[in-house]
Protein backbone atom coordinates (compact mmCIF):
# COMPACT_ATOMS: atom_id res chain seq x y z
CA UNK A 1 0.00 0.00 0.00
CA UNK A 2 1.12 3.55 -0.63
CA UNK A 3 2.51 5.50 2.26
CA UNK A 4 1.15 8.81 3.53
CA UNK A 5 4.06 10.59 1.86
CA UNK A 6 3.27 8.89 -1.43
CA UNK A 7 -0.34 10.03 -1.09
CA UNK A 8 0.77 13.64 -0.58
CA UNK A 9 2.93 13.38 -3.70
CA UNK A 10 0.11 12.27 -5.99
CA UNK A 11 -1.54 14.78 -8.26
CA UNK A 12 -5.25 15.53 -7.98
CA UNK A 13 -5.85 13.56 -11.17
CA UNK A 14 -3.96 10.54 -9.81
CA UNK A 15 -5.92 10.64 -6.56
CA UNK A 16 -9.19 10.93 -8.47
CA UNK A 17 -8.26 7.98 -10.68
CA UNK A 18 -7.37 5.84 -7.67
CA UNK A 19 -10.67 6.76 -6.04
CA UNK A 20 -12.50 5.82 -9.25
CA UNK A 21 -10.77 2.43 -9.35
CA UNK A 22 -11.45 1.75 -5.66
CA UNK A 23 -15.13 2.62 -6.17
CA UNK A 24 -15.31 0.22 -9.11
CA UNK A 25 -13.58 -2.49 -7.08
CA UNK A 26 -16.04 -1.93 -4.24
CA UNK A 27 -19.07 -2.39 -6.47
CA UNK A 28 -17.50 -5.37 -8.24
CA UNK A 29 -16.66 -7.27 -5.05
CA UNK A 30 -20.05 -6.41 -3.53
CA UNK A 31 -21.82 -7.77 -6.61
CA UNK A 32 -19.86 -10.89 -7.53
CA UNK A 33 -17.69 -11.60 -4.48
CA UNK A 34 -14.03 -11.42 -3.57
CA UNK A 35 -13.14 -14.74 -5.18
CA UNK A 36 -14.72 -13.82 -8.52
CA UNK A 37 -13.56 -10.22 -8.81
CA UNK A 38 -10.73 -9.86 -11.32
CA UNK A 39 -8.77 -6.81 -12.38
CA UNK A 40 -10.35 -7.13 -15.83
CA UNK A 41 -13.85 -6.94 -14.37
CA UNK A 42 -12.90 -4.02 -12.14
CA UNK A 43 -11.34 -2.22 -15.11
CA UNK A 44 -14.48 -2.74 -17.19
CA UNK A 45 -16.66 -1.30 -14.44
CA UNK A 46 -14.31 1.66 -14.01
CA UNK A 47 -14.25 2.13 -17.80
CA UNK A 48 -10.47 2.07 -17.90
CA UNK A 49 -7.93 -0.38 -19.25
CA UNK A 50 -6.38 -3.00 -17.00
CA UNK A 51 -3.03 -1.29 -17.54
CA UNK A 52 -4.40 1.86 -15.91
CA UNK A 53 -5.14 -0.12 -12.75
CA UNK A 54 -1.66 -1.63 -12.90
CA UNK A 55 -0.19 1.87 -13.10
CA UNK A 56 -1.89 2.93 -9.86
CA UNK A 57 -1.81 -0.38 -7.94
CA UNK A 58 0.73 -3.20 -7.93
CA UNK A 59 -2.03 -5.77 -8.32
CA UNK A 60 -5.36 -7.03 -7.05
CA UNK A 61 -4.00 -7.59 -3.54
CA UNK A 62 -2.85 -4.00 -3.10
CA UNK A 63 -6.05 -2.62 -4.60
CA UNK A 64 -8.33 -4.62 -2.32
CA UNK A 65 -6.22 -3.90 0.76
CA UNK A 66 -6.46 -0.20 -0.08
CA UNK A 67 -10.22 -0.56 -0.49
CA UNK A 68 -10.54 -2.01 3.01
CA UNK A 69 -8.13 0.49 4.56
CA UNK A 70 -10.02 3.42 3.01
CA UNK A 71 -13.37 2.05 4.19
CA UNK A 72 -11.99 1.60 7.71
CA UNK A 73 -10.63 5.16 7.66
CA UNK A 74 -13.90 6.67 6.44
CA UNK A 75 -15.96 4.67 8.93
CA UNK A 76 -13.79 5.67 11.87
CA UNK A 77 -13.86 9.34 10.87
CA UNK A 78 -17.66 9.17 11.00
CA UNK A 79 -17.70 7.27 14.30
CA UNK A 80 -14.99 9.17 16.16
CA UNK A 81 -16.73 12.53 15.94
CA UNK A 82 -19.90 11.05 17.44
CA UNK A 83 -18.12 9.06 20.15
CA UNK A 84 -16.09 12.04 21.34
CA UNK A 85 -19.23 14.19 21.50
CA UNK A 86 -20.64 11.96 24.26
CA UNK A 87 -19.69 12.87 27.86
CA UNK A 88 -20.56 9.49 29.41
CA UNK A 89 -19.37 5.93 28.88
CA UNK A 90 -22.97 4.89 28.18
CA UNK A 91 -23.24 7.50 25.46
CA UNK A 92 -19.87 6.55 23.98
CA UNK A 93 -20.75 2.86 23.76
CA UNK A 94 -24.10 3.72 22.16
CA UNK A 95 -22.40 6.14 19.76
CA UNK A 96 -19.77 3.55 18.84
CA UNK A 97 -22.26 0.82 17.98
CA UNK A 98 -24.98 3.07 16.61
CA UNK A 99 -22.76 5.18 14.37
CA UNK A 100 -20.89 2.16 13.01
CA UNK A 101 -24.11 0.37 12.08
CA UNK A 102 -25.54 3.59 10.63
CA UNK A 103 -22.46 4.15 8.47
CA UNK A 104 -22.45 0.59 7.21
CA UNK A 105 -26.18 0.81 6.52
CA UNK A 106 -25.66 3.94 4.43
CA UNK A 107 -22.75 2.36 2.52
CA UNK A 108 -24.02 -1.12 1.78
CA UNK A 109 -21.69 -1.96 -1.11
CA UNK A 110 -18.70 -0.69 0.83
CA UNK A 111 -19.62 -2.86 3.79
CA UNK A 112 -20.28 -5.95 1.67
CA UNK A 113 -16.97 -5.58 -0.16
CA UNK A 114 -15.01 -4.87 3.02
CA UNK A 115 -16.54 -7.80 4.90
CA UNK A 116 -15.89 -10.22 2.03
CA UNK A 117 -12.27 -9.15 1.65
CA UNK A 118 -11.55 -9.15 5.39
CA UNK A 119 -13.05 -12.63 5.75
CA UNK A 120 -11.36 -14.24 2.78
CA UNK A 121 -8.11 -12.47 1.96
CA UNK A 122 -4.93 -14.21 3.12
CA UNK A 123 -1.27 -13.33 2.86
CA UNK A 124 1.10 -15.84 1.18
CA UNK A 125 1.92 -17.26 4.63
CA UNK A 126 -1.77 -17.81 5.38
CA UNK A 127 -2.12 -14.95 7.85
CA UNK A 128 -5.08 -12.57 7.86
CA UNK A 129 -3.87 -9.01 7.17
CA UNK A 130 -6.77 -7.33 8.97
CA UNK A 131 -6.72 -9.36 12.18
CA UNK A 132 -4.95 -6.55 14.05
CA UNK A 133 -7.70 -4.09 13.12
CA UNK A 134 -10.26 -6.41 14.72
CA UNK A 135 -8.20 -6.62 17.90
CA UNK A 136 -7.84 -2.84 17.99
CA UNK A 137 -11.61 -2.46 17.72
CA UNK A 138 -12.17 -4.70 20.74
CA UNK A 139 -9.43 -2.90 22.68
CA UNK A 140 -10.96 0.49 21.92
CA UNK A 141 -14.41 -0.54 23.07
CA UNK A 142 -12.90 -2.20 26.15
CA UNK A 143 -11.24 1.08 27.18
CA UNK A 144 -14.62 2.83 27.23
CA UNK A 145 -16.23 0.03 29.22
CA UNK A 146 -13.33 -0.02 31.67
CA UNK A 147 -13.74 3.72 32.25
CA UNK A 148 -17.46 3.20 32.84
CA UNK A 149 -16.81 0.47 35.39
CA UNK A 150 -14.20 2.55 37.21
CA UNK A 151 -16.49 5.59 37.38
CA UNK A 152 -19.35 3.52 38.75
CA UNK A 153 -21.50 4.11 35.68
CA UNK A 154 -21.36 0.44 34.68
CA UNK A 155 -21.60 -2.63 36.85
CA UNK A 156 -18.44 -4.68 37.35
CA UNK A 157 -17.68 -6.68 34.21
CA UNK A 158 -14.64 -7.90 32.31
CA UNK A 159 -14.27 -4.99 29.86
CA UNK A 160 -12.46 -6.94 27.17
CA UNK A 161 -14.86 -9.88 27.19
CA UNK A 162 -17.92 -7.63 27.13
CA UNK A 163 -16.44 -5.48 24.35
CA UNK A 164 -15.87 -8.61 22.28
CA UNK A 165 -19.46 -9.76 22.87
CA UNK A 166 -20.90 -6.37 21.91
CA UNK A 167 -18.91 -6.27 18.68
CA UNK A 168 -19.91 -9.85 17.83
CA UNK A 169 -23.56 -8.94 18.41
CA UNK A 170 -23.22 -6.00 16.04
CA UNK A 171 -21.60 -8.28 13.47
CA UNK A 172 -24.53 -10.66 13.86
CA UNK A 173 -26.97 -7.86 13.02
CA UNK A 174 -24.88 -6.93 10.00
CA UNK A 175 -24.88 -10.52 8.80
CA UNK A 176 -28.67 -10.67 9.01
CA UNK A 177 -28.97 -7.35 7.20
CA UNK A 178 -26.47 -8.29 4.49
CA UNK A 179 -28.32 -11.44 3.51
CA UNK A 180 -31.91 -10.66 4.51
CA UNK A 181 -33.82 -8.30 2.24
CA UNK A 182 -36.54 -7.69 4.84
CA UNK A 183 -34.11 -7.07 7.72
CA UNK A 184 -34.70 -3.66 9.33
CA UNK A 185 -31.21 -2.63 10.42
CA UNK A 186 -32.32 0.62 12.07
CA UNK A 187 -34.95 -1.11 14.19
CA UNK A 188 -32.62 -3.94 15.18
CA UNK A 189 -29.90 -1.43 16.06
CA UNK A 190 -32.23 0.17 18.61
CA UNK A 191 -32.99 -3.26 20.09
CA UNK A 192 -29.27 -3.99 20.38
CA UNK A 193 -28.52 -0.62 22.00
CA UNK A 194 -31.28 -1.19 24.56
CA UNK A 195 -29.88 -4.65 25.26
CA UNK A 196 -26.38 -3.22 25.77
CA UNK A 197 -27.73 -0.53 28.10
CA UNK A 198 -29.38 -3.14 30.32
CA UNK A 199 -26.34 -5.42 30.23
CA UNK A 200 -23.94 -2.71 31.42
CA UNK A 201 -26.07 -0.51 33.62
CA UNK A 202 -25.27 -0.49 37.29
CA UNK A 203 -28.42 -1.02 39.32
CA UNK A 204 -28.85 1.43 42.18
CA UNK A 205 -30.89 0.46 45.24
Q: What range defines the domain where residue 128 resides?
A: 61-200
- Categorize the per-residue pLDDT at 9 as very low, low, confident or very high, splitting at 50, 70 and 90: low
User: Is 61 in contact with 71 (CB distance < 8 Å)?
Assistant: no
Is residue 132 domain-resident? Answer: yes
Q: Residue 193 CB: number of other CB atoms within 10 A?
A: 18
Q: How many domains are contained in the chain?
A: 1
- Per-residue pLDDT at 1: 40
Kindly report the CATH number assigned to the domain that includes residue 150.
1.10.357.10
Q: What is the 3-state secondary structure (H, E, C) of 30-88?
A: HHHCCCCCCHHHHHHHHCCCHHHHHHHCCCHHHHHHHHHHHHHHHHHHHHHHHHHCCCC
Rounded mean pLDDT of 84-98? 98
Rounded mean pLDDT of 88-98? 98
Rounded mean pLDDT of 99-116? 97
Rounded mean pLDDT of 38-67? 93
Rounded mean pLDDT of 57-71? 94
Query: Model's pTM, two decimal places?
Result: 0.89
Is residue 115 domain-resident? Answer: yes
Is residue 10 domain-resident? Answer: no
Is residue 54 domain-resident? Answer: no
Q: Does residue 2 have a pLDDT over 90?
A: no
Is residue 98 domain-resident? Answer: yes
Q: What share of the chain is helix, strand, coil (3-state, %, to 5)?
A: 75, 0, 25
Rounded mean pLDDT of 181-185? 88
Is residue 85 domain-resident? Answer: yes
Is residue 41 domain-resident? Answer: no
Percent of the chain residues topping a pLDDT of 90: 84
Is residue 21 domain-resident? Answer: no
Percent of the chain residues topping a pLDDT of 70: 94
Amino acid sequence: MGTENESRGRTFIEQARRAQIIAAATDTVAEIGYANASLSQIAARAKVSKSVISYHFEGKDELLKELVTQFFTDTWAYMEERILAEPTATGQVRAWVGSQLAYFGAHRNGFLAMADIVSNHREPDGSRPFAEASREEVDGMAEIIKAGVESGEFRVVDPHSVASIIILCAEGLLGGWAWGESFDLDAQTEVLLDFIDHALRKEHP
